Amino acid sequence: MVPVRVLLMVLVLNLLTSITATTNSNSTTTATTTSSSSHANAISYPDFQHLNIKETIAETKTKPTVTSQNHKPLETHDDDDDGNKKKSWKLQLVHRDGISKDNFQDHYRHRFLQRMKRDSRRVTSLIRRLSVGGESYKEEDFGSEVVSGMEQGSGEYFVRIGVGSPPRSQYVVIDSGSDIVWVQCQPCNQCYHQSDPVFDPADSASYSGVSCNSDVCGRLENGGCHAGRCRYEVQYGDGSYTKGTLAFETLTFGQTTIRNVAIGCGHINKGMFVGAAGLLGLGSGSMSFVGQLGGQAGGAFSYCLVSRGIGSSGSLEFGRAAMPVGAAWVPLIRNPQAPSFYYVGLAGLGVGGMQIPISEDVFKLTDMGKGGVVMDTGTAVTRFPTLAYEAFRDAFISQTSNLPRASGVSIFDTCYNLLGFVSVRVPTVSFYFSDGPILTLPARNFLIPVDDAGTFCFAFAPSPSSGPSIIGNIQQEGIQISFDGANGFVGFGPNVC
């Protein structure tokens, strides 16, 4: 069972399989969580890591294996303490780069710069919506710039599901900040290119339009009515949008069938939604896929975002059985102004095993719904308010004075020229959660390549002082993250991918 109190523990997550000194070609990156009360006396708590530079640069020049479109989700069953079966549905989670060869026609630096531009647009939109006190969050105002960034890869993660009866396999992008499930549909008055044939509801025996007086239609933030059928419209910050009919449909995960899921059937869609058929919203609202599963999943899901360039896949799993034993649990915080998002309490930041003197108030969610810390799968780079970011960055710079500096790149102002190095020693970077564990990130999650010529940057950026902090997917990569919405916790570890 998931604990109702935060566990005090030390977890060491081995995210790579090899370790060497500076002269070797391998290195160790680990994520560690420990209780704040025991940090001062934790002898095993690391204050530095080795990052394999040679291997990381080689990954920027390697084209990953394109994932087969025929892979099957895995259904698992676990016993609870009373011997009863708990069902979960597990899917393979792949990065956008793993489903299309077209993503590697451009050089790594060009793809990276495009990714950062789209990430900036997403964050600008998010901060604009979440920084206005007293104004309710609306799905149509923000949700999926992650989708609009798919063309070049802006931290996009895909799962493959079946839609309709018989099921038609479709790739959909996951988004923890969205409360709607939708796919493109025929007849397609205006559609973008996707890797699979567009879903045709006329070929599905289980498709059923939602009436205008349905309770489900009433839950839409921007619903409408046409010819007695419920209409939906989602407008994104960059001008992209999807419009169509709300319907009940069957979704399939391997051998598991989920009936009567309310989905948007998009007949008019615009934007750079390249590759995916649509979106699988994982937000905490009632219209998200997690919300609609209700008792079938117990408000629980878990994901492990595949690390960049290592040629493996991650996973997305729904259900109580997905909740791991041995995770470090942090309470979720609800923001009534943005109920779809998952907020956590953050007390501070650390570099080299030492907490930086930053007031905890910088990270607090106010009574008006401003500030706070959001965990978001759609944002790539973690943002902190400028005051906190600058103290954080300066502490990192002071402990890396032995490394040659490089000019800033895109949104990053702290970069290094590491060409010719095999590996480098860097200080640890840690998140101090309020009344909970300290999460120490793997080195590859905070010092990342921005080209294939040895330029690496500190992978954090500032946000306005009144805006929220955002923990992005680069910092989440390779770590199992579990959301227990029913009990109000998010867990880190113990598994890796």
Q: Is 98 helix (H, G, I), strand (E, B) or coil?
A: helix
Selection from 46, 49, 58 nearest residue 20 by Cα: 49
Cα dihedral 417, 422, 428, 431 sign: positive
Q: Name the helix (H) or strand (E) containing 396.
A: helix 386-398
Question: Which residue blocks in 71-107 are alpha helix, DSSP H?
Answer: none
Tell me the C-alpha to C-alpha distance, in Å, between residue 445 and each of 55, 161, 391.
Answer: 15, 29, 19
Task: Give dist(CA 137, CA 127) in Å, integer.
Answer: 11
* CA 377, chain centre distance (Å): 2
| Helical H segments across 33-72, by residue range | 53-60
Rg (CA), the chain: 22
Alpha helices of 448-494 — where are they, by DSSP H? 473-476
Euclidean distance between CA atoms 2 and 320, whole angstroms: 9
Query: Residue holding tokens 């999807």?
Result: 242
Torsion of CA 8, 29, 447, 403, to 10 degrees: 110
Cβ neighbours, 10 Å, residue 366: 13
3-state secondary structure of 157: strand
Q: Is the dihedral of CA 335, 338, 339, 343 positive or negative?
A: negative
Which segments within 227-255 are labelled E, that is strand?
Answer: 229-235, 241-253
Say how far apart CA 210 and CA 411 lie, in whole Å. 44
37, 438 Cβ separation under 8 angstroms? no
What are the beta bridge partners of residue 460? Answer: 382
Dump the DSSP string for 163-212: ETTTTEEEEEEEETT---EEEEBSS-SB---BSSPPB-GGG-TT-EEPBT
Q: Which residues are the active-site residues?
A: 175, 376
Residue pair 472/380 in contact by the 8 Å Cβ criterion: yes
